[in-house]
Structure 1
Amino acid sequence: MADPLPWFRVHLFACTNRRPEGHRRGSCAARGSEMLRDYMKARAKEMGLPGIRVNSAGCLDRCEFGPVIVIYPEAIWYQARTKEDVDEILATHVRDGGRVPRLMLTEQDVPPAKA
């Protein structure tokens, strides 16, 4: 049996986890991720991008680099701190199929060891 067709061509998950104020790792929500997620949803619609879904995610465990988004099916991780970052990711990655190297998180970007 073949897999069913995907519901979405591209799925963007934006971490909106909020840790307590002063937590050593910080949190994406404390750095404005909820506003950026809302902006990303609206901007994707404005751009007329077909077949995409923007969702909130719980902790993606890259708190120190947040706000963080991950895009599937490619499993590419980005740090998006401004509306301009979101615009660049939507245009370059989602619309044009490219990458935004200056915002990408790689296997080099790991949380520090727990104390």
Structure 2
Amino acid sequence: MPKPAYHILVCTNQRPPGHPRGSCGENGAMEVFEKIGMGIEQKNLFGKAMLTTTGCMGPCSMGPVVVVYPDGVWYKGVKPDDVDEILESHIMNGKKIERLEIPDEMWG
């Protein structure tokens, strides 16, 4: 297997219902993860992109959170309908999706 150019991380952390911080898991993160995995296969991106689930990455209220490295782009509120755009625009063409990006101001 060749070294992938991109590593896609999807937070799938699941907190109990009603937890004040919320969680990516309760906002459909597993659906996003599964759709990215299927998209990598369907678009023949093996060797270009690697997919991994993570625990909490911090911005829980903005989830599901998806991070693309080595670019260090953090996406917020990712829905299954956003996956094809992320794969085609970012992974295949190197162009981040600004409407989904967590703003730099959030990091302080």
Matched, 1:65 2:62: yes
Greater share of helix: 2
Q: Within 1, Cα distance between the matches of 2:85 and 2:21?
A: 26
Q: Within 2, Cα distance between the matches of 1:80 and 1:18?
A: 15
Matched, 1:13 2:9: yes
Q: Work out the number of aligned pairs and report it.
A: 106
Paired position in structure 2 for 1:113: none
Picking from 68, 74, 78, the partner of 1:77 is 74
Paired position in structure 1 for 2:43: 47
**Displacement after TM superposition at 1:7 (Å):** 2.7
Structure 1 74/81 Cα, relative in aligned 2: closer, same or farther at 3 Å? closer
**Displacement after TM superposition at 1:81 (Å):** 3.0
Gaps of 5+ in 1: 1-5, 111-115
Paired position in structure 1 for 2:93: 96
Retained in 1: the 8 A contact 2:78–2:100? no
Retained in 2: the 8 A contact 1:25–1:63? yes
One-letter amino acid of the counterpart of residue 31, structure 1: N
Gaps of 5+ in 2: none
Q: Within 2, Cα distance between the matches of 1:85 and 1:108?
A: 23
Q: Within 1, Cα distance between the matches of 2:84 and 2:76?
A: 13
Retained in 1: the 8 A contact 2:66–2:78? no
Q: What is the TM-score of this pair, normalised by structure 1? A: 0.85
Retained in 2: the 8 A contact 1:80–1:86? no
Q: Within 1, Cα distance between the matches of 2:70 and 2:76?
A: 17
Larger-Rg structure: 1
